[in-house]
Amino acid sequence: MFVGCGGKVFDLSASKMWSGGTHVRRHVAGNDQTSAISQAPHGEEKLAAFPIVGTIVPSVGDHSSPCERGFFFMAYLNLVIVVAVLLVITLWHL
């Protein structure tokens, strides 16, 4: 079971507290737990006893899908059309 915290990936397979892939039925393995550990009664020192197996590298660039880009294009196009129609109606009544 791998857990990310503070930019590091820890192997918590040997931990009894992470048996079944969850910790206190609240935290799931395979996720970055940096924000969750700040609310825990302990700090990152508990993770120091386990091996570090990797690092978390932030993604660079735009990784949105073509469908997502198409959706935003159509949404903004519709917004422009609505504003143009409202402008025409406003000018028509003058």
pLDDT digits (tens, 9 = 90+) for 65-93: 889 899 999 999 999 999 999 999 999 87
For residues 27 and 34, what is the distance between their CA atoms, to the nearest angstrom? Answer: 11
For the chain, the distance separating the N- and C-terminal CA atoms, rounded to the nearest angstrom, is: 69
pLDDT grade for 42, boundaries at 50, 70 and 90? confident
pLDDT averaged over every residue in the chain: 82
What does the block give as tokens for 80? 């422009």
Of 35 and 66, the structure prediction assigns the larger pLDDT to: 66
Q: What is the DSSP letter of 20?
A: G
For residues 81 and 70, what is the distance between their CA atoms, to the nearest angstrom? Answer: 16
pLDDT value, residue 24:
62
Q: What are the backbone angles phi and psi of residue 57, rounded to the nearest 5°?
A: -105, 125
pLDDT grade for 56, boundaries at 50, 70 and 90? confident
Q: What is the pLDDT averaged over residues 44-58?
A: 82
Q: How far is CA 68 from CA 4, 16, 71, in A?
A: 28, 41, 5
